[in-house]
Amino acid sequence: MKKELTKIENQIAQARTDLSVVEAKMKECIKLHAEYIDLLGKKSTGAKGLAMQINIRIKKEFETDRDHMSLDEMLLLKSLLAKIDAVISESEANKISRKGIKLKVYSTIEKYGELVRGVK
């Protein structure tokens, strides 16, 4: 039993480390997104607004802080952050409007929220 607990603790520690790496990458993506000007000429006033909205929506969907997440929840959060990064990057490459990108990001968060409720 002690070895199994240690194995789970190691998995959680690794998941936290992986999560930090993915989160840093997503934050960098959001900073770059702040410089994006869409085809309508819309631009950001800074990266904080989108970053705050993403954090608020993730907290609402996950209903817990990282210190109290299960391993499955952490893995879902890691996947979500990577997906948000991909959604923003792909949307910019496809010249989607800033509003469209936000809607895609928020929709992605909601979909992952449904998955989180399924593992609780």
How does pLDDT run across 65-76, given as a tens digit for each residue? 878 888 999 999
> How confident is the model at residue 4, as a pLDDT?
66
Which has the higher per-residue pLDDT, 91 or 62? 91
The DSSP call for residue 40 is T
**Is the pLDDT score of 119 beyond 90?**
no
Backbone angles phi, psi at 60, to 5 degrees: -65, -45
The tens digit of pLDDT for each residue in 15-37 reads 999 999 999 999 999 999 999 99
Q: Work out the mean pLDDT of the chain and round it to a whole number.
A: 91
- Provide the percentage of residues in the chain whose pLDDT is more than 90: 70
* pLDDT confidence tier of residue 51, bands split at 50, 70 and 90: very high
List the chain domain ranges: 2-119
State the pLDDT at residue 5: 66
pLDDT of 64 above 90: no
> In whole angstroms, what is the distance from residue 109 CA to residue 56 CA?
10
Q: State whether the Cα torsion 83-14-49-111 is positive or negative.
A: positive
